Amino acid sequence: MAATNDNGGDPQPIGVFDSGIGGLTVVRAIRTLLPNESIFYIGDTARVPYGSKSPATVERYSLEIAAMLEAEPCKAIVVACNTASSVALDVLRNTTSLPVVGVINPGARAATAATRNGHIGVIGTRATIKSGAYERAIRALRPHVQVTSRACPLLVPLIEEGWLESGVTDRVISEYVRPLLDANADTLVLGCTHYPLLRPAIQRVVGDSVTLVDSAENCALAVRYLLQAKRLEAPPDSKHELRVALTDLPDQFLRVAEHALQLDVGNPAICEIPHAPVAHA
Ligand code: DGL
């Protein structure tokens, strides 16, 4: 429930979640755009990756994490995960009383604005690509745009391991994006919030003529719009902070957050996931 104070606005944190490190690219973008806002981040490190799981499992995980953010309490939920956004956004919106922002529509809007030749490539996890969520969102905005998609299941493990500048990673990227380049895509959606961590490597492989669309930056713009529209912005005098909680060990998470993202995430709390009750028919 929103806690509007006397100055107007809401000092409660924005709740952000992802399966692991990837959502921190969204946290970084929100902090740059909205430096006054506090953020409470949950990385579901016990169950990463989400991208190889079934839609029903990702939906259940997303509902469990959203319930934790709601209990915090947070004033809004940012699904900083393309996989969860592509399969669980509607159920989240129907279940929580908080406003929910995902990453698919902001990325689709930016991609349709960026393409010059009307051909967009999308890379993401298996679950995101299989859902067809980007194709639907892009075609709803520009019906005649051609979309070529490719699942890249090896990229999330490489990123979680911190292999951001490595010949092996460059070769994997190259294998994955070749069909998109052959199809003449001039714009490539990084349809997984982990992928901005590989932005220099991906740009190097695809060349400067391809525009990369970062779902993290575009999601931050959507968060600003939502907070303004709902009058939930933090009061100007509020003390902003970033708190991070993980569902399992923080070692690799901390290393990548600090080195690659230059984010001080403090000492993440390790939290228990309160399992949703099983529905009996
Ligand atoms: N970062 C997430 C996404 O945007 C999830 C990656 C994963 O856990 O597979 O899809």
Same fold, 14-102+218-270 and 104-215: yes
- Pocket lined around ligand 1, Cβ cut-off 6 Å: 18-20, 22, 48-51, 81-83, 125, 128, 156, 192-194
Contact 28/20 with Cβ under 8 angstroms? Answer: no
Give the model confidence (pLDDT) of 43-76 as tens digits: 999 999 999 999 999 999 999 999 999 999 999 9
Q: Which mutation among 18, 26, 103, 130 tests ligand 1's pocket best, with the greatest number of atoms within 8 A of CB?
A: 18
* Architecture of the structural domain at 104-215: 3-Layer(aba) Sandwich (3.40)
Assigned CATH for 14-102+218-270: 3.40.50.1860
* Separation of alpha carbons 216 and 214, rounded Å: 5
State residue 215's pLDDT score: 81
Residue 278: pLDDT band (50, 70, 90) is low
Burial class of 102 by CB neighbour count within 10 A (0 to 12, 13 to 18, 19+)? buried
- DSSP H helical segments within the chain, as ranges? 23-33, 55-71, 82-95, 104-114, 126-131, 133-141, 155-160, 167-182, 199-206, 215-229, 251-259
Q: Which mutation among 85, 192, 213 tests ligand 1's pocket best, with the greatest number of atoms within 8 A of CB?
A: 192
pTM of the full structure = 0.93
Residue 2: pLDDT band (50, 70, 90) is very low
* Separation of alpha carbons 82 and 247, rounded Å: 19
In angstroms, the Cα distances linking 39 to 104, 140, 158 are 21, 31, 26
> Domain-by-domain residue ranges, the chain?
14-102+218-270, 104-215
Give the model confidence (pLDDT) of 3-40 as tens digits: 554 556 899 999 999 999 899 999 999 999 999 999 99
**Position 82 pLDDT exceeds 50:** yes
Residue 186: pLDDT band (50, 70, 90) is very high
* Other beta carbons within 10 Å of 151: 20
Contact 220/26 with Cβ under 8 angstroms? Answer: yes
Provide the token pair at 82: 């393309």
Question: How do the residues of the chain divide into helix, strand and coil, expressed in percent and rounded to 5?
Answer: 45, 15, 40
Residue 251: pLDDT band (50, 70, 90) is confident
If you ran DSSP here, which 8-state letter would residue 38 be given? -
Burial class of 171 by CB neighbour count within 10 A (0 to 12, 13 to 18, 19+)? exposed
State residue 8's pLDDT score: 65
Ligand 1 center from residue 30 Cα (angstroms) = 18
Residue 276: pLDDT band (50, 70, 90) is low
Catalytic residues: 81, 192
Phi and psi at residue 190, to the nearest 5°: -80, 85
